[in-house]
Chain A
Amino acid sequence: MLQQLGHLPMGWLLIALIAVFASVAFFVGRIGAERILLSGAPALHSRPNYHGYFVAMWAIIPAVLVALVYAIGAEPFARGQLTSELPPAFDLLSAPELQTYLDSVSLAARSSDYAGTDLVFTAVTNRYLEIIGGLNIGALALMGVGAVLGLLFARRRLAASFRARSLVERGMEGVLFLCAVVAIATTAGIVISLLYESIQFFSVIPIWEFLFGTRWNAQTEAEFGALPLFFGTFMIALIAMFVAAPIGLFSAIYLSEYAGPKARAWIKPILEILAGIPTVVYGFFALLVVAPAVRSLALWINETLINIGLASEPLLAAQPTSALAAGLVMGIMVIPFVSSLSDDVINAVPQTLRDGAYALGATKSETVRNVVVPAALPGIIAALLLAVSRAIGETMIVVMAAGKSARISMDPTSDLTTITVQIVSLMTGETGFDDPKTLSAFALGLVLFAVTLLFNVIALRVVQKYREKYD
């Protein structure tokens, strides 16, 4: 019986039940209010609909709370209960192995035909379904009781002078507030999960070994010195900025100072297309076109240098995937971040400053170089910082085109690896969560988060200061 209940589609059921409770309660409230009117009350403070909303609100608040607790707590509880009931033989399993076992149990429980292969497994799955079934029926019952109690409580408060509308509106404001708080919850979730896993990691690997070690060999779980990753990330971001900074800045200057309104109306959206292309497409472009081109250029340089006697052996590594290829493509990707923000700040420079320079007999380029750009400099620096932060956090391009060897090399045609590449390769393997390998991905994530956050905060501060100055 309970086992059958374990198969209930709880997600839909919970949502449907809440909807049913809400509509029933709404009509109860509305009819109640209309009765008050019919019974001869002079006028209601709030329209009958608001009485309906009020009762509905009280009915669904307990129901939603129960549903939330169920959604968050049911699975962990069932697993904990199951683990405590497992026969002693299971003690031989390590924590990750147990985790994997439970994963397959809960996966099997979701499908209908798991029986047959392994008697123990089937028995465990059946027991798991029983526990879940019990939780399901408990949650549904609790929801029903809560909703009915809420409904009755609210129904009793209805009266002609009852300020249903104010209370409903206060409730809605609460909902709006909760939505806004999701932003804090998300940040908190990021910080807590990164910190929690990282602290576990640093209890195994000392933090200084992680930050300053020069050997990275996470796949074999041997060495966790992340310096080569920081170097690779920095190198590729630097190459990207060498592309994006001049092109983005000069484009912004041309668009805001030279281009006519017509050209501007065409070029600006086209440049912004670059920002809308998914990064995986850039990655494929890097792999398909840029990396082979970089490699043949590097081979040509090697050959030429040897031919003219400047080198006796190949100078450049000329690998099939390279930091240069990834950096170039990433540079193209961040051009619009530089150009569109710079364009904004250049446009915000007051016309009177330009007039002042022109009136002195400055040419257009002198005005731009000596007056407009210096005036917009804080904003431009902020744009560049945001672009760097974008480049550091970018994943797909480097995963596809930068390579995986953790080394410190100044040769841009050699393949380097980055923080993000390593996070992806560490997290896509089949390992449990307590593995130092997986944990190291979170430590890398923490570094990435901290660095990009720092860049963003500085950039936003600068922009804000700058806005104040010219507003």
Chain B
Amino acid sequence: MTDPAASSFSTPEALKRLKRRRAADVRFRYYGLGAIFLALSALVLLVLSIGSQAVSAATYHVVRYDITLDPAVITPPGETTPEDIARNVDGFWELARDNLLETFPEANRDRASRIEVSEFITRLAVLPTARKVAARPEMVGNPITLTAPLNDDLDLYLKGQALPERRLRTGTITAVTAQEDGFALLEGQGAFTPILTALTTLQAEGVSMDEGSILITAGGATGRLHGIQAGTARLELLTGTLDAFRNSTAAARLIALPEAQRVVSDQQIAWTFALKEMGRISRVPRWTLLTNSDSTYPELAGGLAALVGSLFTMLVTALVAIPIGILAAVYLEEFAPKNRLTDFIEVNINNLAAVPSIVFGLLGAAVYINFLGMPRSAPLVGGLVLALMTFPVVIIASRAALKAVPPSVRSGALAIGASQMQTVFHHVVPLAAPGILTGAILGMARALGETAPLLLIGMVAFVGDVPTSPTDESTVMPVLIFTWANNAERAWEPMTSAMIVVLLAVLLLMNGLVVFLRRKYERRW
């Protein structure tokens, strides 16, 4: 049997075969590495794509308006109480718009322009100022500085996310001559060659500039270029003075998308740059994301109401699910006799932990709302629905923690004459507490991220006010994310991402707490 030829370590066939097998071995290892790489890169892609969007929403542009609180507008006859002032959003808004009309006289030329300029500031954006003034009515008649968020599309444009555009600088423009048709002739040796080059490149890339705009800006002035040649071009001034272009190198922007298809017009872009040049636009952290409630205007929207709603919902869930879960676990682990009923309870718990969350939503809609007549959209009902989902998780974790307490602790306590109840609650449960607590936190973290069942009990309604009790109409963070993600305007995308980051931060905090507790109290018997 022992074939001398086969028994050498290095017969050619054996080695050849071995090489093949070793290669298969290496391949297999790479399959594993590849799988892990794919899973991790999916996670990284998710975090990066959402994170980068969120960063853009973390700051926004606000515009400063120096206005005088004209009593005729702010406190018209018969509307002079502080409540009236706080409600007079239109008056404050008119003052801010008039301030823009003053700054840009050309906006007065027609109705369309007036509408364009009034889009800079949303009516509701003056509400904080109105409230401030209402609190100190003596301010009426005095000049104040009103700061309000810039329109969300222009904000996005300034962040470079609204429109693809190519930026470059012109050569020096030496002569500017106004012409009779309202246009101006710009001249300069080779001043517009860079634009012509860029146009050729764009054409080569298949981008048509036929209906696009070429804007140039110098100082506070911006205009649209036509009939470009290397040394001359015709300028349609949008805002500012022609003088600004004389002896300057202007910043040029090539926007391929036709004006009619955009959310921001050339004129609005021109005004935005003018305001920026005046130092009236600044980019500031968007704290309103956490201090405002939901709004139909992305520049005003925030998650405060949803945060508070989540807090109330979690409070109800915790108060119901954690005690019931722990007590049920104690019963099953320490007291339950081994019989059919206990087995049935166990089967139920294991299955409940795997029932799709939306089924709990149906249960909530049918039992809590339809049968018991509880209010729709309320954190109370949401919390109760989530509690039913969470308590099996708490039971399973608590039972594992109780199981890990060695029997010697029980026999020790029983031996000195403690009753079973005393043994369990004085000795076993305290020892299992860290494990029970981590299980409870993990269950709550899962409940905090849950969306689907809450949709079914009406927590998806638009809620503009911060709820003050668990029975108020309310929404929660994940549902707010869902609602925002469904909104059409582009500006909601970064807002949604930012809200997701807030939610993930809370979840991370909860999980961090779990890791900390485990490290601190981990005990092996």
Contacts and interface: CB of A to CB of B under 8 A. Distances in A.
Interface of A: 11, 71-72, 75-76, 79, 106-107, 110, 165-166, 169, 172-173, 175-177, 179-184, 186-187, 189-190, 193-194, 196-197, 246-251, 253-255, 257-258, 267, 270-271, 273-274, 276-285, 287-289, 332, 335, 339, 363-366, 368-369, 386, 389-390, 392-396, 399-400, 420, 423-424, 427-428, 433, 441-442, 445, 448-449, 452-453, 456-457, 460
9 contacts: A72-B372, A166-B419, A169-B420, A258-B29, A274-B43, A279-B451, A281-B449, A288-B53, A423-B361
Interface string B187-206: 00000000000000000000
Given A277-B46, A280-B478, A363-B25, A193 B358 contact: no
B482 to A, nearest CB: 5
B6 interface: no
A193 B363 contact: yes
B39 A197 contact: no
Given A288-B493, A424-B455, A453 B351 contact: yes
Interface string B367-396: 100111111000000000000100110010
B507 A276 contact: yes
B207 interface: no
Contact of A190 (B32, B335, B336, B355): B355
B275 interface: no
Query: Across chains A and B, which 10 residue pairs bring their CB atoms closest together, nearest first?
Result: A393-B356, A254-B32, A278-B449, A250-B35, A365-B28, A176-B331, A75-B373, A395-B452, A193-B366, A179-B327
A223 B375 CA distance: 31
Interface SS, B side: helix
Interface string B450-484: 11100110101000000000010000001101100
A285 to B, nearest CB: 5
A234 B482 CA distance: 24
Contacts of A288: 49-50, 53, 493, 497
A169 to B, nearest CB: 4
Interface residues of B, number: 93
Contact of B324 (A179, A251, A369, A424): A179
Given A176-B328, A392-B356, A442 B366 contact: yes
Nearest to B380: A11
B47 to A, nearest CB: 9
A50 B263 CA distance: 74
Contacts of A186: 348, 352, 363, 388
B505 interface: no
Interface string B27-47: 111011111101110110110
B349 A183 contact: yes
Contact of A107 (B25, B375, B456): B375
B511 interface: yes
A97 B224 CA distance: 59
A368 B28 contact: yes
Most buried by B among A106, A175, A366, A427: A427
Given A254-B29, A279-B451, A424-B452, A363 B42 contact: no
Contact of A110 (B367, B375, B449): B375
Nearest to A331: B42
B358 A424 contact: yes
B38 A247 contact: yes
B318 to A, nearest CB: 15
B362 interface: yes
Contacts of B88: none
A246 B36 contact: no
A281 B38 contact: no
Nearest to B484: A284
Given A246-B35, A288-B49, A289-B49, A394 B356 contact: yes
A282 B481 CA distance: 11
A156 B435 CA distance: 43
Given A179-B327, A284-B485, A424-B456, A197 B356 contact: no
Given A335-B39, A448-B358, A456-B351, A278 B478 contact: yes
B276 interface: no
A180 B49 contact: no
A251 B32 contact: yes
A139 to B, nearest CB: 15
Given A75-B374, A393-B359, 4 more contacts: A176-B335, A183-B345, A278-B449, A424-B455
Nearest to B360: A190
A359 B455 CA distance: 58
B392 A448 contact: no
Nearest to A432: B370
A194 B364 CA distance: 11
Nearest to B450: A278
A363 B53 CA distance: 47
A258 B482 contact: no
B400 interface: no
Contact of B455 (A177, A257, A363, A428): A428
B16 interface: no
Given A395-B357, A460-B350, A180 B336 contact: yes
Nearest to B461: A428
A179 B43 CA distance: 39
Contacts of B415: none
Contact of A285 (B25, B49, B335): B49
B345 to A, nearest CB: 5
A109 to B, nearest CB: 11
Given A183-B345, A428-B460, A285 B371 contact: no
B362 A420 contact: no
Nearest to B365: A427
B35 A247 contact: yes
Contacts of A182: 324, 328, 391
A121 to B, nearest CB: 18
Given A183-B345, A187-B352, A278-B451, A393 B358 contact: yes
B450 to A, nearest CB: 7
B345 A184 contact: yes
A183 B325 CA distance: 9
A289 B373 CA distance: 41
Contacts of B358: 393, 395, 420, 423-424, 445, 448
A271 B40 CA distance: 7
A16 to B, nearest CB: 15
B523 interface: no
A182 B329 CA distance: 12
A451 to B, nearest CB: 10
B405 to A, nearest CB: 17
A399 B483 CA distance: 12
A393 B362 contact: no
B500 interface: yes
Nearest to A169: B421
B503 interface: yes
Contacts of A393: 355-359
B397 to A, nearest CB: 15
Nearest to B456: A427
B456 A428 contact: yes
B484 to A, nearest CB: 9
Contacts of A249: 35
B449 to A, nearest CB: 3
Interface in B406-441: 419-421
B5 interface: no
Contacts of B357: 393, 395
B362 A270 contact: no
B456 A423 contact: yes
